[in-house]
Structure 1
Amino acid sequence: MPEIYKSRSPEETRALAEALAQRLSAGDLVALIGDLGSGKTTFVQGLARGLGVPPEIYVTSPSFTLVNEYPGRVPLFHVDLYRISPEEVEDLGLSEMLSQGVVVVEWAERLPEGLSPRFVVRFKYAGENERIIELEEYDRKGPPPEGPVKGA
């Protein structure tokens, strides 16, 4: 059963993510699903703050770099799968990143099978400045009950 939150501002979205970061450790995969502009990168900014990424480091979308790495109490790997093919996803080395830190993936519906997220976060528009954020936690040992994130 997902936890459901209503965010009325980017700061509320960051605060929710900052609280979630306290539950994360190396090896955790966080899958983000939502339309363009729905708050995914803003959410990652909050995760970074909660994981101790220094405030002078600005978290941006890795749309063109594909992966941004940030230092913190646990390294944070921010991955964007929007512009790449399934074959290219395989070449990113997500398993290696997971062995070193927390991996958060935008456009996670493109994740290859076999990578099981600990959290799936869905973003939905609820108005011009409001978002519904659904947070679902899964066992680290297996895939979500409905299988891979695809189609979510």
Structure 2
Amino acid sequence: MTAREPLHTDRGEEIEFETVSPAETEALGASLGRLLLAGDIVTLSGELGGGKTCFVRGVVAGASPEAANLVASPTFAILNEYPGTVPILHYDCYRLRGADDALELGLLDRLGGDAICLLEWPERIPGVIAGEYLAASFQWLGEEYRRITLSAHGERSRKLLALLRDERKKKLVS
């Protein structure tokens, strides 16, 4: 059985995808992961069970395939690090009480550095993420059905959306 291409709507600075299985959510994450570079920041917002960890598993599989089997929800660890040519830092900010906690943990020291940074629950640390980042918003619509909206914040993230559009178009043509 071949995976279907997730349905999507393109609004320029934002692309909305609908996935109907964990495999589709992971495949979308893998498409993005293949495009990410050191210093890229992706925020992940949405309710529990929204598909964030599944998407992260895909991002890691695309960016650093050797670490894909290591992905787990970091809720209790706050940070999971995945090794690879470009390391991936996966933060879960759910238990943080604000920007001061993020500063205390040294989160700002690692943003935009030599790793790809994935931040779940960025709304828990308002004002910390500024400038260049790609925002991924997850909405649970029932069973395994998800709406994932990718929004560009800055020139690099606009370029990522353009590259993702191109990759998706190539898949539809082939």
Tell me which interval the TM-score lies in, with the shorter structure as reference length: 0.7 to 0.9
1:131 aligns with 2:146: yes
- Following superposition, the deviation at residue 106 of structure 1 comes to 0.7
Q: SS at 1:43's partner residue?
A: helix
Q: TM-score, normalised by structure 1?
A: 0.85
Q: TM-score, normalised by structure 2?
A: 0.74
- Higher RCO, Cα 8 Å, sep 6+: 1
Alignment deviations for residues 69-103 of structure 1 (CA, whole Å, 9 cap, x no partner): 00122110000011121121122222332312011
Identify if the C-alpha distance between structure 1 residues 100 and 55 changes in structure 2 by more than 3 Å, giving closer, same or farther: closer
1:52 aligns with 2:64: yes
Identify if the C-alpha distance between structure 1 residues 139 and 114 changes in structure 2 by more than 3 Å, giving closer, same or farther: same
1:37-116 alignment to 2 at 5 Å?
Answer: 37-54=49-66, 57-86=69-98, 87-98=100-111, 99-116=113-130
1:130-149 alignment to 2 at 5 Å?
Answer: 130-139=145-154
- Following superposition, the deviation at residue 113 of structure 1 comes to 1.4
Identify if the C-alpha distance between structure 1 residues 128 and 15 changes in structure 2 by more than 3 Å, giving closer, same or farther: same
AA aligned to 2:101 is E
Mapped contact 1:18–1:51 kept (Cα < 8 A): yes
Relative to its length, the structure with more helix (as a share) is 2
**2:36 corresponds to:** 24
Alignment deviations for residues 96-152 of structure 1 (CA, whole Å, 9 cap, x no partner): 3231201101111123414225210001122211001001122158xxxxxxxxxxx
- Tell which structure's C-alpha radius of gyration is larger: 2
Q: Where does the alignment leave 5 or more consecutive residues of structure 2 unmatched?
A: 1-12, 157-174
Give the whole-Å Cα distance in 2 for the aligned partners of 1:88 and 1:140: 28
Give the whole-Å Cα distance in 2 for the aligned partners of 1:40 and 1:128: 15
Aligned positions, number: 141
Identify if the C-alpha distance between structure 1 residues 13 and 56 changes in structure 2 by more than 3 Å, giving closer, same or farther: closer
Q: SS at 1:45's partner residue?
A: helix
Q: Considering only aligned residues, what root-mean-square deviation do their CA atoms show, in Å?
A: 1.8
